[in-house]
Structure 1
Amino acid sequence: MITRCFLKYKFPTHLKIPNAYIRTASTNASGSQQIFKTNLFKSNHQQYNFSSNSELGLCLAGSIAVGTSLYLINLIHSDAPQEPADLAVISFEELQKHNTIDDCWIAVHGKVYNVTEFLKVHPGGAPRILRFAGNDATKGFSSMHGPGYLERYLGEHCLGSIMDLPVISKKKKKKTKKSSFNDKESHSNHHALTKIAFRKKSKKQKLTEEEKEEQERLKYAENKPPLGTILSINDFEYVAKKILPPMKINYFNSGSDDELTLRENRRALSRIFFRPRCLIDVSKATTSTSILGVQTSAPFYIGSITGSELIQSEGETLITKAAIKEDIIHIIPQESGVSLDDITHPDHGLFYQYKFKSREEVEDAPKLFAEIEKQMPQVKAIFLNSHAVGPGNIEKGSKTLINLNSKDDEVSKILKYKLEEETTSAPLTWNDFEKIRKSTNVPIIIKGLQRKEDIVKACELGFQGVIISNDDGRQLDSSLSTIEILYQTRQLMNKKQLSDKKDFELFVEGGFRRGSDILKALCLGAKPGLGRGILYSEVYGQEGVEKAIRILKNEILRDMKLLGVNNVDELNENFLDTSSLDFRFNVNGGHDDLYNKNYTPMLAPRFKKT
């Protein structure tokens, strides 16, 4: 007997509980495949009563016989698959016409799908699909999705088959001049198309200022520094700023309003000074520690990053692979374009971040998280985003979109779509979070608290942790820096005798670039997370992300030895001088050459051309 049990996980934007079912299949006379599913998680189970063991055995025997027959029939027909007679044939020329947000078709494995409506509910966001609008998306799809994804989400959107997709031979690929800034990773379509446009332009025709800037960017992209010459996270950011299109880099590095909080996240770290111990044997120093009970090789984590697919098509998959290889924890965002079981390793602990987009999702969350706990033991913690009203006024990003030329209209639509997605969120209260916390044994961590009183309240209510975060300066401008909130929180927790509470952990995000920054947070009792710094390293592909992680590990270990400690547990406030935080004194008047070199100033409105 041959049987198969399929356990499938679904994490779309609208909450759907993971489905577990036994599946059998047969093929009817017309050649269409019929799928028979027995759901294992139906709420209204039918009860069957057997009067004797013989009746039960007879029933089981019959089920086995039918199941085996159906499987063998399906196996025979699978050797010679037949297309349904009514399946239309669509030309590549027709496919290319449907390449916008409002009318989007893609081809996957020889089939054409209308994904215009699916863009609105795609778990990974519309931009991941729009990169392939009007074109073949098979390579990008296969790198991020399992074979069952099409059946689950796009089956009803299939328009027909396509036979004339262009094929580029390996020989032609070798002759084609390299047009991407990625080493061995997938390339940027925007980069390649822009370069072709410049080739077509007559040499006698004068280039506009924007075209000159784009031409210069392409030269930087083709001649980026070797990875071996990158020695810090600041170096990655500098290279990314040179080779990424302005619309992308400004989406990543923008803060809200005047970006005071964005800059303050960095400046506040420079107000904290070390008090090193000397004459200490640090020959056995190690950076290994644990986060929420999960062992990790270093005391920091990679935060939930949105928009990583704008740099590399693999997005979170690439980052997760690098994190697993370097034994670092990565928080997987709900917006990830792939299912959790596709991008995680069974032996590697997973943290999952969820953002509610409707009250329906909030109400259904306890049921979802209970199923996650039951079906995915590798999920060690769930992070809930408390930024209920979305980001603040991202003025720099908006001005970038306004200033784009008409040739970039479709790209600007993608980024505009992402900004709108970020503002979509459901209203949340403490009661909602408490209800969710009580529904599962998986630790629930609240992300985005910015008041010491709220953080202490979360601790007293029984939550297992809090991420102190202002969304890297994208929330309310003029809010306190996250490191200063952490400092104030530790003082209040010490006063309330909560600092030694073993079942509550603090995390902090915002402005961390160096191993020394990470140590300052650790001394104040919190594990820090990095987002943008890791994101910029993606311009070198997975190798770049791995290099960024190793740079931070080496900096932490070196600075731990210089500080006079052997392990993370030894770090505490006695190693810091925080007096400058009280009156906000900045070194050199707050002038930070490394930071200022990478900072993008606010754009000014453009005058009409005369």
Structure 2
Amino acid sequence: MRRLTFDEVSQHKSAQSCWVIIDTTVYDVTEFLPDHPGGSRSILRFAGKDATTEFEGIHPPGTLEETLPESAKVGTVENVGGQETAGKEKDKEETAKLAPETPEDMLNIADIEDHASRTLSKKAWAYYASASDDMRTKVYNNAIFNLVLFRPRIFRNITVVDTTSHMLGFKTSLPLFVSPAALARLAHPDGEKAIARACGKHGILQMISNNASLRYADIVSATVGSEQPFAFQLYVQNERERSEKQLREVVKAGCKAVVLTLDAPTPGKREMDERVARQEARATETVDTGEALSANSGRGKDAEGGVGRALFQGTAGDLEWEDLIWLRKQLPDDMKIVLKGLQTVEDVILAAKQFDKTSGKALVDAVLLSNHGGRALEGAPPPLLVLQELRMYAPEVFQTLEVYIDGGIRRGTDIIKALCLGATQVGIGRPALMALAGGFGEAGVSRVIQILREEVETTMRLLGALTLDQLGPQYVNTRQLDAILGPDPSQAALTTMHFKAKL
């Protein structure tokens, strides 16, 4: 291939001739611009520059080979006169920001998040920390745990406590899992692999994001043992065959469960994420993009919508309960299905009633109560409230389904409160991503799990509960939580019928 100078590459910075550098190789991506899922502007910001750091943070290895023809390779680049590319300058800035702390210095999840806020790039922090609109739902997800008080018992021998749990037929060392969390390589080069290794060493399950920055097979190659279980989060695509191909790949790689995500059929308005994207776009306004800045409403392709919006391109918005039949047909009989994003008692009841009429088998094995970490519908109910409504109005579903929650979990006390109200397992998302930051990687994720393990064990001892199956509503005071419960679905239906009868 041709040897090019940085000055030569920098001349190709328009929509009519767009070259970018990825890991010293120069690519002509001019023809690909209209087809880029995130819009052409996200590429044009790096026209004539090194895009390595940006590209590798959000794309799995092998993406270029699958997307671009061999003819797109123009040559390789060399630095002239000591001039460094934009990507290397950014790497130096990120390295300079690294704080001297070690994972052991982190005493709680708040410390982990503070460390991440100081060491992540502005773009990565905006994507991880952002939530919809005024972010009140994200905040309330955690704040609502304060409405539940404990009722500890005394004169119990609390010398030994057992945190062993189960999930989807697998034994776990803690009632804790890592929820689907996208683009982990924005925080650390090892990305989801680092999370996988930490989960394996601590004996908990990882749900791998549909939008992971590494391929599923590459992530599960980081297992610490042949029996380590993984689940795969699925966003069904408009082009259904793409999802079918994904499922064939994860089944081949040994996936144990599919987590069908339903709480974000369209992206929420994540203003922190969008603001950073717009700032980047305006910083490169002099580039001849051929596009005007827009409000980016709906499912538009403009890059100013932020990383979160770009990831949703192609996501199907037409799913219905009948699509569970299609999903079940794509999977082996022993592979589990988890529905993620249920936010009402009514939908949990419907999930428990889903059966394949041909085989007579249940179509749903577990539900994950979630509002997408406050990143979808602002004003959605916090999962802990939905859990309590489920316990009050439809306790029978706990005998049919495993019930998980995620969103707002920041303490071991939060985990124990959820278990007392009937949850089987509790998930964390942002803490696992943020634990990677500042060079922590796998050690950071391990520290998060260790912190929560210690807090869970301490809470159990102080409650007087020695095993997880001893936990129950007798250990909590929910009067404040009960005051804001939603309507009993059965009573609401009767009220509606009575109203219609009067008409």
TM-score category of the 2 structures, normalised to the smaller one: 0.7 to 0.9
User: Aligned match of 2:457 in 540, 543, 557?
Assistant: 557
**SS in structure 1 at match of 2:451:** helix
| Post-superposition offset of 1:421 | 1.7
1: CA distance, partners of 2:148 / 2:327: 37
Q: Which residue of 2 aligns with 1:210?
A: none
Query: Paired residue for 2:144?
Result: 268
Contact 1:256 1:474 in 2 (8 A): yes
Deviation at 1:518, TM superposition (A): 0.9
Shift of residue 414 of structure 1?
6.5
CA distance in 2, matches of 1:505, 1:404: 44
Which secondary structure state, in structure 2, belongs to the residue aligned with residue 240 of structure 1? helix
Q: How has the CA–CA distance of structure 1 residues 398 and 149 changed in structure 2, closer, same or farther, with 3 Å as cutoff?
A: closer
Q: Which moved more, 1:471-480 or 1:436-445?
A: 436-445
Moved more, 337-346 or 520-529: 337-346
> Larger radius of gyration, structure 1 or 2?
1
Query: What RMSD over aligned residues (CA atoms) do the two structures have, in Å?
Result: 3.9
SS of the equivalent of 2:371 reads coil
Q: Which residue of 2 aligns with 1:356?
A: 236
**Which among 419, 433, 445 is matched to residue 545 of structure 1?**
445
Distance (Å, rounded) in 2 between the aligned partners of 1:140 and 1:393? 24
Report the Cα distance in structure 2 between the residues aligned to 1:515 and 1:129, rounded to whole angstroms: 45
Does residue 319 of structure 1 match 2:216? Answer: no
Deviation at 1:382, TM superposition (A): 0.6
| Separation of aligned partners in 2, 1:453 and 1:142 | 39
Residue by residue, what CA displacement relative to the aligned partner does 1:320-342 show, whole Å, maximum 9, x if unpaired? 23322333221111212322221
Residue 352 of structure 1 deviates from its aligned partner by 0.6
Evaluate the alpha carbon distance shift between residue 483 and residue 557 of structure 1 in structure 2; reply closer, same or farther with a 3 A threshold: same
Summarize the alignment of residues 400-439 of structure 1 with structure 2, pairs less than 5 Å apart. 400-402=276-278, 407=283, 416-424=305-313, 425-427=315-317, 428-439=319-330
Alpha-carbon shift at residue 226 of structure 1 (Å): 4.1
Relative to structure 1, the CA distance from residue 295 to residue 166 in structure 2 (aligned partners, 3 Å threshold; closer, same or farther) is farther
Contact 1:140 1:314 in 2 (8 A): no
Query: Retained in 1: the 8 A contact 2:124–2:186?
Result: yes
Q: Is the CA contact (8 Å cut-off) linking 1:144 and 1:314 kept in structure 2?
A: no
1:514 aligns with 2:414: no
Decide which of 170, 175, 191 is 1:299's aligned counterpart: 175
Q: Is the 8 A contact 1:308 1:316 kept in 2?
A: yes
1:376 to 2:265 alignment:
no
Secondary structure of the corresponding residue to residue 539 of structure 1: coil
Instruction: Kindly indicate whether structure 1 or structure 2 has the higher relative contact order, using CA contacts under 8 Å at least 6 residues apart.
Output: 2
- Aligned pairs for 1:193-204 within 5 A: 193=93
Tell me how far apart the structure 1 counterparts of residues 54 and 280 of structure 2 sit (CA, whole Å).
29
1:528 is aligned to 2:426: yes
1:135 equivalent to 2:54? Answer no
Question: Compared with structure 1, are the counterparts of its residues 498 and 545 closer, same or farther at alpha carbon in structure 2 (3 Å cutoff)?
Answer: closer
Residue 498 (str. 1) matches residue 358 (str. 2): no
Alpha carbons 2:416, 2:456 under 8 Å: kept: yes
Change (3 A) 1:306 1:376: closer
1:106 maps to 2:21: yes
Deviation at 1:368, TM superposition (A): 5.3
Calculate the TM-score normalised by the size of structure 1.
Answer: 0.64
Given that residues 468 and 482 in structure 1 are in contact (C-alpha distance below 8 angstroms), is that contact kept between their aligned partners in structure 2? yes
Cα contact 1:448–1:471 (8 A) shared by 2: yes
Shift of 1:464: 0.8
* Alignment check: 8 A CA contact 1:456 1:489 kept: no
- What's 2:499 paired with? none
Q: Distance in 2 between matches of 1:163 and 1:229?
A: 42
Deviations 1:109-150 (A, max 9, x none): x75434563896689x9989999984385999699967x776
User: How has the CA–CA distance of structure 1 residues 508 and 98 changed in structure 2, closer, same or farther, with 3 Å as cutoff?
Assistant: farther
SS at 2:373's partner residue? coil
What's the CA shift string for 1:396-439, capped at 9, x where partnerless? Answer: 443455567954879x9967441332443212111112321244
Secondary structure, aligned partner of 2:174: coil
CA distance in 1 between partners of 2:58 and 2:329 (Å): 37
Task: Report the equivalent of 1:578.
Answer: 478
Looking at structure 2, the residues matched to 435 and 537 of structure 1 have their Cα atoms a distance apart, in angstroms, of 37
Amino acid at match of 1:484: L
**Cα drift, residue 513 of structure 1:** 0.3
Contact 2:94 2:121 in 1 (8 A): no
Instruction: State the shift of 1:275 in Å.
Output: 1.6
What secondary structure sits across from 1:113 in the alignment?
strand
Q: Write the letter of the residue equivalent to 2:260.
A: L
Aligned to 1:208: none
2:346 to 437, 445, 453: 453
2:205–2:230 contact (8 Å) kept in structure 1:
yes
What is the number of equivalent residue pairs in this alignment?
445
**C-alpha displacement at 1:466, in angstroms?**
1.3
| 1:130–1:414 CA contact under 8 A, matched in 2 | no
* Residue 230 of structure 1, CA deviation: 1.3
Does 2:156 match 1:277?
A: no
Answer yes or no: is 1:488 the counterpart of 2:377.
no
Contact 1:89 1:161 in 2 (8 A): yes
Shift in alpha-carbon separation, 1:383–1:258, aligned structure 2, 3 A:
same
Shift of 1:452: 0.9
1:482-510 Cα deviation digits (max 9, x unpaired): 1101111122332xx33222xx2111111
Contact 1:537 1:548 in 2 (8 A): yes
Letter in 1 for 2:348: I
Alpha-carbon separation, structure 2, partners of 1:560 and 1:353: 31
> SS of the counterpart of 1:261?
helix
SS, match of residue 117 in structure 2: helix
Paired letter, 1:466: V
The alignment partner of 2:436 has SS state of: helix
Change (3 A) 1:520 1:583: same
1:270 Cα offset (Å): 0.7
- Paired residue type of 1:564: G
CA distance in 2, matches of 1:140, 1:371: 23
Residues of 1 paired with 2:157 and 2:446: CA distance? 30
**Using the alignment, how far apart are the partners of 1:295 and 1:120 within structure 2?**
44
Helix, strand or coil at the partner of 1:290: strand
For 2:270, the aligned partner's letter is I
**Offset, 1:531:** 1.1
- For each residue in 1:550-583, what CA deviation from the matched residue of structure 2 results, as whole angstroms up to 9, or x when unmatched? 1111111121222222222322222221111122
Gap runs ≥5 in structure 2: 288-292, 294-301, 355-361, 486-503
User: Structure 2 CA distance, aligned partners of 1:545 and 1:554?
Assistant: 14
Corresponding residue number in structure 1 for 2:378:
477
Question: In 2, distance between residues paired with 1:247 and 1:140?
Answer: 13
**Cα pair distance change 1:107/1:369, threshold 3 Å:** closer
What SS is found at the alignment partner of 1:418?
Answer: helix
* Other structure's SS at 1:317 match: helix
Pick closer, same or farther for the CA change 1:142–1:469 going to 2, 3 Å: closer
Is the Cα–Cα contact under 8 Å of residues 351 and 380 in structure 1 kept in the other structure?
A: yes
Report percent identity of matched pairs.
Answer: 26
- Superposed, 1:29-178 pairs within 5 Å as 87-96=1-10, 103-108=18-23, 111-114=25-28, 117=32, 134-135=49-50, 137=52, 152-162=66-76, 164=78
Question: Do the aligned partners of residues 249 and 142 (structure 1) sit closer, same or farther apart at CA in structure 2, a change above 3 Å counting?
Answer: closer
Letter of the 2:73 counterpart: L
Deviation at 1:272, TM superposition (A): 0.9
Question: What is aligned with 2:207?
Answer: 331
